[in-house]
């Protein structure tokens, strides 16, 4: 049995703080708090003196004061094969895919390449405080095996899947309806539920799958209803027009996924920028999740995610980096760009609400509430230690910060990987063990 007591300023959420500071019942903040962790799980959260004088009295104390202890960040949409195309110059989505992404992803057929990139990928997640992600692998079975092998070695809670795509891509990136199905089945059998690994059925997006492949994807959903589904939806106007050409019978883009049985409470729909009212209604009724990818949407020029419109329609939402269309692995940078996108539309994104989304909100979007994203007793002990004085400029700004909310706003506005003082994965320190921090 392994036990530790983490001491610091503890913040965790219970519900979404829609009203900002007025929603004090939605979170717990303890100025001198502590987490008792046993065998990788949260046992208790309380004032340090209470835990230290009780069941945590004989446990090793790791003192992170004056830093803030929060649940580890969760990224709901990211492409691990795209590490080497981040920041590539292109005018729009389809050009960016053809010119850079599809070229890069073909390298994942090369022996040794998937494992090397997987190792670098997980280093980067940890460096930025991300302890769980929903990730796209490449079309190659070996890319998924390398991803899960590295994640399992680090004991991280990950969701990932083999991209299924059988048209409109280079020959080296195409499977077939049958091979996509067969390889996905094999990977599910091998990795789903292995340690903390979860599998996601992953048809890349409608333009790269034939009707036959989408039928096979739907068959997987029916056979494995407990699995996540991830794909892309309504990111770009040209993409939407292309889908209309490929599926002329469909009412709209969302109707393609509805028709093949791919919508549901565990479906993650990346982007969801250019939705009609009818599409929003279908997404809401299916309880699917619209994933906001702010740095990607700005960099590729796709458009502005309208959070208020979706929330008014009772659509579930998440937030994500979308590496490599996205430009930063940091959820802090992602929250900052999300704030700007919403602010320019006259929508307020209170810091308490954004940090809720990056933790418990995204856990709920992944249907993993109680497993990750909070400090509930029994939850997996993934934690991030945040230092709001990590840079000289932030130290100067912190001289005038008086409240927790102001500190959170500073972290998301000026913060990056330097603000991640430590990361605990299932109760084990992970950032300090990286070869380069």
pLDDT above 90 for 90: no
How many CB atoms lie under 10 A from the CB of residue 92?
15
pLDDT above 70 for 86: yes
- Mean of all residue pLDDT scores within the chain: 96
Classify residue 312 by burial, with Cβ atoms within 10 Å: 0-12, 13-18, 19+. Answer: exposed
pLDDT of residue 95: 87
What does DSSP assign to residue 17? -
Distance CA 389, CA 369 (A): 31
pLDDT above 60 for 437: no
Query: Higher-confidence residue: 232 or 56?
Result: 232
pLDDT above 80 for 21: no
Distance CA 12, CA 400 (A): 24
Q: Which two structure tokens, joined as six digits, stand for 274?
A: 């250019």
Q: Which two structure tokens, joined as six digits, stand for 258?
A: 């509805």
pLDDT above 60 for 98: yes
One-character DSSP codes across 221-288: HHH-TTSEEEEEES--HHHHHHHHHH-TT-SSHHHHHHHTT--STTEEEEE--S--HHHHHHHHHHT-
pLDDT above 90 for 94: no
pLDDT above 90 for 92: no
Distance CA 166, CA 213 (A): 7
Residue count of the chain: 437
pLDDT above 90 for 323: yes
Confidence grade of residue 18 (pLDDT, cut at 50, 70, 90) = confident
Q: Which of 53-57, 129-133, 313-317, 418-422 has the lowest mean pLDDT?
A: 53-57
R_g (Cα) of the chain, nearest Å: 21
Span between the terminal Cα atoms of the chain, in Å: 29
Share above pLDDT 90 across residues of the chain, in percent, rounded to a whole number? 92
How many CB atoms lie under 10 A from the CB of residue 308?
12
Average pLDDT over every residue of 113-129: 98
How many CB atoms lie under 10 A from the CB of residue 371?
18
pLDDT of residue 157: 98
pLDDT of residue 97: 87
The strand pair at 267-271 and 316-319 is best described as unpaired
Q: 40-70, pLDDT tens digit by residue?
A: 999 999 999 999 998 878 899 999 999 999 9
pLDDT above 60 for 219: yes
pTM of this structure:
0.97
3-class DSSP state of 133: strand
Helices 141-154 and 177-191 cross at an angle (nearest 10°) of: 20
Distance CA 333, CA 129 (A): 12
pLDDT of residue 267: 98
Quick one: three-class SS letters along 21-69? HHCHHHEEEEEEEEEEEECCEEEEEEEHHHHHHCCCCCCEEEEEEEEEE
Q: 372-409, pLDDT tens digit by residue?
A: 999 999 999 999 999 999 999 999 999 999 999 999 99
Confidence grade of residue 20 (pLDDT, cut at 50, 70, 90) = low
Confidence grade of residue 96 (pLDDT, cut at 50, 70, 90) = confident
């Amino acid at each position: 049995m392994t036990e530790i007591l983490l001491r610091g300023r503890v913040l965790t959420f219970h519900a979404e703080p829609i009203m900002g500071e007025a929603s004090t019942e939605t979170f717990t903040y303890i100025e001198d708090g502590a987490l008792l962790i046993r065998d990788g799980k949260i046992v208790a959260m309380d004032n340090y003196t209470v835990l230290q004088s009780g069941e945590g009295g004989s446990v090793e104390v790791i003192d992170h004061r004056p830093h803030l202890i929060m649940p580890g960040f969760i990224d709901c949409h990211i492409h691990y094969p795209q590490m080497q195309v981040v920041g590539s110059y292109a005018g729009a989505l389809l050009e960016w895919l053809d010119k850079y992404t599809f070229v890069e992803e073909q390298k994942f057929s090369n022996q040794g390449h998937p494992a090397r990139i997987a190792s670098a990928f997980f280093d980067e997640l940890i460096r930025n405080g991300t302890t769980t992600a929903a990730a796209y692998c490449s079309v190659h079975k070996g890319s998924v095996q390398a991803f899960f092998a590295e994640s399992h070695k680090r004991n991280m809670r990950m969701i990932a899947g083999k991209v299924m795509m059988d048209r409109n891509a280079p020959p080296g990136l195409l499977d077939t309806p049958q091979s996509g199905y067969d390889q996905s089945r094999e990977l599910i059998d091998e990795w789903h539920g292995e340690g903390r690994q979860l599998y996601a059925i992953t048809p890349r997006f409608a333009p790269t799958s034939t009707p036959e492949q989408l039928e096979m994807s739907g068959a997987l959903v029916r056979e494995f209803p407990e699995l996540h589904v991830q794909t892309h939806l309504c990111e770009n106007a040209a993409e939407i027009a292309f889908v209309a050409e490929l599926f002329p019978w469909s009412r709209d883009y969302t109707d393609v996924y509805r028709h093949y049985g791919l919508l549901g409470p565990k479906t993650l729909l990346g982007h969801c920028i250019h939705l009609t009212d009818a599409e929003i209604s279908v997404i809401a009724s299916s309880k699917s999740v619209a994933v906001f990818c702010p740095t990607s949407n700005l960099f590729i020029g796709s458009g502005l995610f309208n959070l208020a419109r979706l929330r008014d329609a009772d659509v579930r939402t998440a937030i994500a980096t979308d590496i490599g269309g996205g430009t930063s692995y940091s959820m802090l940078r992602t929250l900052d760009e999300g704030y700007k996108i919403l602010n320019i539309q006259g929508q307020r994104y209170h810091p308490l609400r954004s940090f809720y989304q990056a933790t418990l909100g995204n856990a709920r979007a992944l249907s993993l509430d109680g497993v990750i994203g909070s400090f509930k007793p029994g939850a997996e002990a993934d934690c991030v230690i945040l230092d709001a004085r990590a840079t000289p400029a932030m130290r100067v700004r912190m001289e005038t910060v008086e409240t927790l909310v102001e500190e959170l706003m500073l972290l998301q506005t000026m913060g990056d990987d330097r603000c991640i003082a430590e990361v605990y994965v299932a109760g084990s320190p992970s950032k300090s063990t990286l070869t380069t921090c």
